[in-house]
Chain A
Amino acid sequence: MTRSPTDAAAHALATTADDHRIARLAAAAIALSLVDAAIPLPLPGVKPGLANIVTLLVLYRYGLSTAAWVSGLRVVAGGLLLGHFLAPGFFLSLTGAAVSLAALAAAQHLPRRWFGPVTLSLIAAFAHIGGQLLLARAWLIPHDGVFLLAPVFFAAALFFGIINGLIVARLLGAGAEPGTERQHA
């Protein structure tokens, strides 16, 4: 039998189980980005960074490359949904995600016995805001005055970094190793 040109299956993109998992996790991260954006906070730039919870969980369960995919998709789709795609806020978000992923790539090799999700979350949070500040200084507000707000941002990174890390630790349960595949319950 020949397939008709209108056969949907003929045009369907071949997707793997990995793609589905990434899409599912990215959807969760995007939802948390929206929640993030909906929480009113006094200063622009201070955000709980709830989507980082997903990035960290993915890093622990599926490794860095999946985490990078989820994080990247979250930034792009989150930007589209929040209406700041390709606007300055989008590039800030992209830089924060990229820098924090780079920091996580290095930090994931810390000995598990001593350093848990709280450490990774803190490192990610500080890398996130650090990267954003540098981008803002280099591009959006080319003046050292931007750094006046840095202590406030760092304090927020400390606070939310610890909280998000605790949430990740709680969700992972005890004894999780990074990059090891775990079955869904």
Chain B
Amino acid sequence: MSPWLPLVRPGDWAVAGLAAAAVAASFPLVWQGGAAEKAVVRRDGEVVAELDLSRKRTFEVAGALGATVIAVEPGRARVAADPGPRQYCVRQGWLRRPGEIAICAPNRVSLQIAGRKNGFDSLAY
């Protein structure tokens, strides 16, 4: 028998169990930002399009420098091409969580994922 077991009293088991349940419950509670439903495309901060994330398509926005190409697939979207010099928004890749945003600042275009309820204002990595 383990020498550690007698050190744990009945209430300890209960408290540890309760704590474990609370920890397990906190993951989905905090980490579900709601399902991604649409991609919001903005130019100069104004919404130009709200793309449905249920089917595949591409969308082009004319920005300050040229056309930004947005690719949509079921459940995700990305900036496929952008005339910006550093390509940050393109390299960000697929966005799938509500609140995630790719900003093509030189071209003044942004792409943001939106869900039914947005857990956060924006997410950027």
Q: Do A and B bind each other?
A: yes
What residues of chain A have their CB less than 8 Å away from a CB belonging to chain B?
A: 110-111, 113-119, 122-123, 126, 143-145, 147-148, 150-151, 154-155, 157-158, 161-162, 165-166, 169-170, 174
What is the 8 Å Cβ interface bit string for chain B, positions 1-30, against chain A (1 contact, 0 not)? 001101111111001100110110011001
Q: Which residues of B contact A157 (CB under 8 A)?
A: 19, 23
- Complex contact B31–A151 (CB within 8 A): yes
* A153 vs chain B, min Cβ distance (A): 9
Cα-based distance from A122 to B30 in the complex (angstroms) = 21
Given contacts A122-B19, A151-B31, contact A144 B120 (CB under 8 A): yes
Given contacts A148-B30, A162-B16, A166-B4, contact A116 B9 (CB under 8 A): yes
* B11 vs chain A, min Cβ distance (A): 4
Q: Which residues of A contact B11 (CB under 8 A)?
A: 110-111, 114-116, 119
Pick 17 A–B contacts, CB within 8 A, sort by A.
A111-B11, A114-B9, A116-B7, A116-B11, A118-B7, A119-B12, A122-B15, A143-B120, A143-B121, A145-B123, A148-B30, A154-B19, A155-B23, A158-B19, A166-B8, A169-B7, A174-B6
- Option from A122, A144, A147, A170 in Cβ contact (under 8 Å) with B16: A122
- Complex contact B30–A169 (CB within 8 A): no
Q: Which residue of A lies closest to B22 (CB)?
A: A154
Q: Which residues of A contact B7 (CB under 8 A)?
A: 116-118, 166, 169-170, 174
* B27 vs chain A, min Cβ distance (A): 4
